Amino acid sequence: MSQTQHVSLLFFLENRNEKRTQSLHGPSPVTTFGPKACMLQNPHAVMHIQDPASQRLTWNKPPKSVLVIKKIRDASLLQPFKELCIFLTEVKNMIVYVEKKVLEDPAISDDENFGAITKKFCTFREDLDDISNRVDFIICLGGDGTLLYASSLFQESVPPVMAFHLGSLGFLTPFKFDTYQSQVTQIIEGNAAIVLRSRLKVRVLKENWEKKARVDEKGIILTNGDIESSRKALQYQVLNEVVVDRGPSSYLSNVDLFLDGHLITTVQGDGVIVSTPTGSTAYAVAAGASMIHPNVPAIMITPICPHSLSFRPIVVPAGVELKIMLSCDARNTAWVSFDGRKRQEICHGDSITITTSCFPVPSICFRDPVNDWFESLAQCLHWNVRKKQNYLSSEDEEF
């Protein structure tokens, strides 16, 4: 089977919601990103595991549209946002997409000089307008949250994302805004380094219980009725992590964790984190997990304050399917969130199915995937920062 046929098969299975053939390897990631971007193919590559440094972005056609995501209610981003939008529309002749609520900021809507530029924008509303086939690439202004938000807007193929560090941490935002014009120009010209950040495909199946009252011909209620159930399915694409926790309850969280249909353990504690390699440096690392480079095909399972001395975080292959359910003897419900959003209650009978998605987020690198990652570890998390040990001279050795 050719690679194209393999990807087409994965698309078919994703759309049909059928159970994927079990494999320890994750699904082959789609290598087309939005309408015009794709990954540059390396004809000399003979290994299935590609060298991260060889992952390059190229364009099938010159990009014409760009989505600009700005952190809401941050006055420090107003001037960079305006400068970037003027540059994209006036100098680069790009079609600029901006979320409608961004333009409702009085600091933008009341600016008469900027008003002529905003009239050229294409606007959209989250969860109401589909822009998946309109945007060629994305520019984020803010912190890591802007990249997570960009991911949430695209439930299938994601356009390439260029993230500028204008927030607090900036682990996922490698670009500095000082030289944005030359950097954006270089991306538009193509052939930039990218890292494919895998996402989790999450399906939440909720059991809805309803009482059906029995009514006679005159409309009089005869009994309270029988309880009937119906199932409601929700799907999400998650870049960082799925967090299942005990919510406001004072009891331990008590959830069963299945891997490929087999019960592997019961989590008793504050909860559990299921994260991507990208998410391993977020909530998971704060809970004691290891940090995984985003090119590693894996899923990390990290307990939150487990009531056990031997429950350590584990890494499982990207191709497995995880399932989380409330234990039958759980004293309380649980709560789940996806990249910190869409928080909802999980009751008895509900289930959360998690596996690796074939729609990654193509994140544009400042240099390359390896150097950018270690630079972020050093600058943002101060990884292995320690005072250097003094040199031992020959005189010291005598003592």
Residue 227: the pLDDT is 52
Task: State the amino acid at position 34 in one-letter form.
Answer: G
Collapsed DSSP state (helix, strand, coil) of residue 83: helix
Q: Which residue has the tokens 């895998």?
A: 198
- Pairwise CA distance, residues 222 & 213, whole Å: 8
DSSP H helical segments within 17-167, as ranges? 78-86, 100-103, 106-109, 112-118, 144-152
| CA proximity to 319, closest of 39, 121, 23 | 23
Cα pseudo-dihedral 168, 173, 178, 182, rounded to 10: -170
Nearest to 364 by CA among 214, 104, 162: 162
Report helix, strand or coil for 323: strand
Strand partners, 208: 230
Triad 4, 318, 146: Cα angle to 5°: 90
Please give the full DSSP string across 169-211, using - where no structure is assigned. --TT--B-GGGHHHHHHHHHH---BEEEE--EEEEEEEEEEEE
Separation CA 128–CA 151 (nearest Å): 16
Closest alpha carbon to 28 in 12, 6, 45, 61: 6
Contact 157, 245 (CB under 8 A): no
Determine phi and psi for 44, rounding to 5 degrees.
-90, -5
Would you state the pLDDT for residue 9?
37
Largest CA distance in the chain: 106
What is the SS3 assignment for 381? coil
Rg (CA), the chain: 24
- pLDDT tens, residue order, the chain (399 aa): 444 444 333 433 344 444 454 556 677 888 889 998 988 876 655 445 567 777 889 999 999 999 999 988 888 999 999 999 999 999 999 999 999 999 998 889 888 889 889 999 999 998 889 898 999 999 999 999 999 999 999 999 999 999 999 988 889 999 999 999 999 999 999 879 999 999 999 999 998 755 555 555 655 555 555 555 567 899 999 999 999 999 999 999 999 999 999 999 999 999 999 999 999 999 999 999 999 999 999 999 999 999 999 999 999 999 999 999 999 999 999 999 999 999 999 999 999 999 999 999 999 999 999 999 999 999 999 999 988 888 887 766 665
Tokens of 194: 């990218």
In sequence order, which residues have a C-beta less than 8 Å from that of residue 146 and are 6 or more positions away? 69, 70, 71, 140, 163, 167, 173
- Dihedral sign, CA of 77, 82, 83, 87? positive
- The yes-or-no answer on residue 74 being catalytic is no
pLDDT of residue 86: 95
Rounded CA separation 363/293 (Å): 13
Amino acid letter, 53: A
Rounded Cα–Cα distance for residues 365 and 368 (Å): 5
Q: CB–CB of 146/71 below 8 Å?
A: yes
Cα-to-chain-centroid distance, residue 88: 26
CA distances from 381 to 171, 201, 374 (A): 8, 28, 10
Task: Go through the chain and tell me how many residues it has.
Answer: 399
State the pLDDT at residue 213. 52
**Active-site residue among 144, 339, 350, 372?**
144
